[in-house]
Structure 1
Amino acid sequence: MAKQETSLFNPNMLVELANTRMPFGKYQGYRLCHLPEPYLAWFKQKGFPPGKMGVLLETLYEIKLNGLEYLLIPLIKK
């Protein structure tokens, strides 16, 4: 029997990354997708916050690190 693969990736996360606003800190009110990479790198070094926001920020860090942020632009809701 073939082992069924399960994906931990949720496609809705990209929509969240494009539209959720930063709830705290220096960039409070900014859409997550507009956070600068050095700010995300700082979190990578110091530790991402716990919970869903930490998961979103860590995912965004990986997206920006790999130059894939262009994928989020069409998902921004006006």
Structure 2
Amino acid sequence: MNQLNTDILIELAHTKMPFGKYKERYLIDLPEHYVVWYHGKGFPKGKLGDQLQMVYELKLNGLEDLIRNIRHKYPKVQ
């Protein structure tokens, strides 16, 4: 895995939802139904939307633990 992909996954592992009912919850820990709802509605524009789309794909493929393990293994990026 190249450094850019690694950095993206580390950042995703530490990103929390910035608003709404699930504010401050790690994106990977959002309920599946909520991420599926966004998939149907359309993800927000920008970085958050890209990250939510990645979370959707990870959950779809049962890879949530990959991101949780990254969060525990690597310190939060500033």
Q: Give me the TM-score of the superposition, normalised by structure 1.
A: 0.80
User: Residue 38 in 1 paired to residue 49 in 2?
Assistant: no
Q: Which structure 2 residue ranges, 5 or more long, are not aligned? A: none
Q: Which aligned runs of 4 or more in structure 1 are off by greater than 4 angstroms? A: none
- Higher normalized helix content (fraction of residues): 2
Aligned residue number for residue 67 of structure 2: 72
Q: State the AA in 1 paired with 2:27.
A: L
Please give the alpha-carbon distance, in whole angstroms, between the structure 2 residues aligned to 1:10 and 1:75.
12
User: RMSD across aligned C-alpha pairs, in angstroms?
Assistant: 1.9
Q: Which structure 1 residue ranges, 5 or more long, are not aligned? A: 1-6
Q: Give me the TM-score of the superposition, normalised by structure 2.
A: 0.80
Q: State the AA in 2 paired with 1:54.
A: G
The number of aligned residues is 71
What percentage of aligned pairs have identical amino acids? 49
Q: State the AA in 2 paired with 1:29.
A: E
